[in-house]
Amino acid sequence: MMGITSVQVEKKAYSSCGVVSHDLSRILMLLVLLVFASAFLLIYVKYENQQLYIKYNSLQADGQRLHQEGNMLTLEKATLSSHKRVYGYAEEAKMYVPSGKKIVVLD
């Protein structure tokens, strides 16, 4: 009579568990790799976000500076083109507004 011994049962149990265990270890390794890849990508995205935020603040400061410079140039232009100043330069150059008789209109 051939009976199954306990050693044969254990070998059979280990061999069937070995296949399942091998598949589980592959899945586990894949999950571990995915977790590490996700962690590295998170670090990279946070770093890029920080760099872009620094650049954004720099550009904001440049924009404010340029806006202020534009306002100063507008004020300077208004000052330089005021009627009083133009008349002052005209008088220094001995220029005058011609009388109505001396104005000629061309068609």
DSSP collapsed to 3 states, 20-87:
HHHHHHHHHHHHHHHHHHHHHHHHHHHHHHHHHHHHHHHHHHHHHHHHHHHHHHHHHHHHHCCHHHHH
Whether 86 is covered by a domain: the verdict is yes
> Which structural domain range is residue 35 located in?
7-94
Q: Distance between CA atoms of 82 and 88, rounded to whole angstroms?
A: 10
Whether 1 is covered by a domain: the verdict is no
Q: Distance between CA atoms of 95 and 88, rounded to whole angstroms?
A: 10
pTM assigned to the model: 0.53
Instruction: State both tokens at 22.
Output: 């091998």
Whether 2 is covered by a domain: the verdict is no
Count of domains observed in the chain: 1
Whether 104 is covered by a domain: the verdict is no
Whether 34 is covered by a domain: the verdict is yes
Which tens digits make up the pLDDT trace of 11-68?
555 555 555 688 899 999 999 999 999 999 999 999 999 999 999 999 999 999 999 9
